[in-house]
Amino acid sequence: MSQDRHNATNEEYCFESLPKNVRQVGETMQGTRFFIEDYVMTFLRKCMGDKKEEGIVLFVGKRGKKEAQNCIFIYGAIVAECNVLDGKRALDTQKWQEIYQAVQTYFPKGELFGFGCGVGMWNSQVDQSIQAMQKENFPMEDRLLFLADLGEKEEKLFVTKKEGLQELPGYWIYFSKNTQMQEYMLATSPHKSMEGGYQDDVTQNIREVIHQKKELHYNKRNVIYGISSLLFLLMLLGAFLLFQSTKRIRNLQQTIETLSHSTGDVVTGSAIADAKDTTTREESSNAKAGVNIKKSADSKKGQEEKKKSSQPEKETGIATQEESSSPFFTPQGIKEDSGQTTKKSLEKIKKTKKEVAAGKSSKEKTTATAEPKKTGYRVKAGDTLSQIVWRQYHNLACIAMVRDVNHIKDDDKIQEGQFLLLPEYED
């Protein structure tokens, strides 16, 4: 026995106050009260079940002091091998020496307060043997006799009085550390060999639990890592889609702004040629009209001069009726007629010029309002293929047609100054 265990068993118990942690069994009684420690009751029932009639358990205890003066505390139990059916001859001198030696070793300064036993079947012979054993070994007052009928599973506690054995109506079980009883139970319990077929089930179970916890932790970590990776990929995909959407929105805004501020910058080669031809024809018509007007004026002027030079001078101032009736007879008439003719010619020239100018304006308006023939476009700075197609056709579905005609693979790679063919398209 180690030094610490020896000190624990040599510890003296002093019961000067009632225990606080108790449990009552049965009814409250007057007079002396009995308190039995929980370890003692556990050991008592175990021994009675194992030994039955082949052994008894002796109670070790002390009387209380001060506040616990009328109480008896049973805090120890010692097993003794004997046959309860032998009655008063069950415990001989040698048995008593062994009992006292155990009391001094494990319960120093303890006092014996009776015994307990268990029988498989209760009968009159058993009853007489136990009473004889009680009178022979514990005739003093306030000694306990604990009897258990193992067949009926009944327990009864008796106490000796002057009148004899009386059944105890109730007692208390209290709970404490009770190191002395613990040491005795460890000393008397059978020791199993640690060698041979020993299996450390507890250690194995602990290791299995630890292994399961590690696996669970590892699985949780993998799940968390997988979820984190998935969330990260979703964030990247969302950022990429947001960037693409922003880019498309900006291009659309740029296209709308260009369309709203532009009123038609598409100029085709045929439209320019038609405009030049129209201008040339108008200029030629104006030139011809001017020449004709000039020739008509010159011709009229020559005829007037010829008539004037061919008119015979009348020295006598006498004219015939035919001559007097002619408006060109006198030089004054000739002058008046020439002035009127010149005035009419000038008015006619002005009228012709106005008509020519009106015709030119009408042709310009007609040319401006007429739908030009769409054949090509020269790319300017800042133009995109979608803007050009929208201005030309007002339908972005035509972008594939323009791309195929001009052999364009990338819509964003058109250059400033590049000439694009724009074929005709009918809805």
Residue 268, class by beta-carbon neighbours within 10 Å (0-12 exposed, 13-18 middle, 19+ buried)? Answer: middle
Residue (of 336, 298, 328, 299) closest to 311 by Cα position: 328
**Among the three residues 371, 387, 402, which one is the final residue of a domain in this structure?**
371
- For the full predicted model, state whether its pTM sits above 0.85: no
Q: In this model, does residue 234 exceed pLDDT 90?
A: yes
Q: Are residues 15 and 153 in the same domain?
A: yes
Q: Which two tokens stand for residue 74?
A: 């049973």
> Phi and psi of 376, rounded to 5°?
-170, 170
Query: Residues 124, 11: one domain?
Result: yes
Shared domain check, 170 and 37 = yes
Residues 173 and 277 in one domain: no
Inform me whether the pLDDT recorded for 24 exceeds 80: yes
Domain shared by 396 and 342, yes or no: no
pLDDT in tens, 342-395: 556 566 656 665 655 555 455 444 444 444 455 789 999 888 988 899 988 888
Quick: pLDDT tens for 147-205. Answer: 888 888 888 899 998 888 888 899 999 999 899 999 999 988 765 444 444 455 777 77
Structural domain contains residue 81:
yes
Residue 61 contacts residue 76 (beta carbons within 8 Å) = yes
Residue 232 lies in a domain: no
Residues 247 and 278 in one domain: no
Dihedral Cα 45, 48, 51, 52, nearest 10 deg: -150
Q: Are residues 76 and 155 in the same domain?
A: yes
Count of structural domains within the chain: 3
Q: Which two tokens stand for residue 91?
A: 């415990």
Residues 359 and 289 both lie in one domain: yes
Write the CATH number for 155: 3.40.140.10
Whether residue 73 lies inside any domain: the answer is: yes
Looking at the domain assignment, is residue 387 inside a domain? yes
The answer to whether position 145 is within a domain reads yes
For 105-151, how does the pLDDT look when each residue is reduced to its tens digit (9 = 90+)?
Answer: 999 989 999 999 888 777 888 888 888 888 898 989 999 999 888 88
- Average pLDDT over the chain reads 76
Indicate if 420 and 337 belong to the same structural domain: no
Q: Which of the pair, 87 or 294, is modelled with greater confidence?
A: 87
- The answer to whether residue 17 sits within a structural domain is yes
Query: Do 63 and 158 have their domain in common?
Result: yes
Please check whether residues 18 and 85 belong to one and the same domain: yes
SS (H, E, C) 285-337: HHHHHHHHHHHHHHHHHHHHHHHHHHCCCCCCCCCCHHHHHCCCCCHHHHHHH
Same domain membership, residue 415 and residue 291: no
What CATH number did the domain enclosing 391 receive? 3.10.350.10
Domain hosting 49: range is 3-188
237 domain residue, yes or no:
no
Closest CA to 13 of 49, 77, 58, 65: 65
Residue 384 lies in a domain: yes
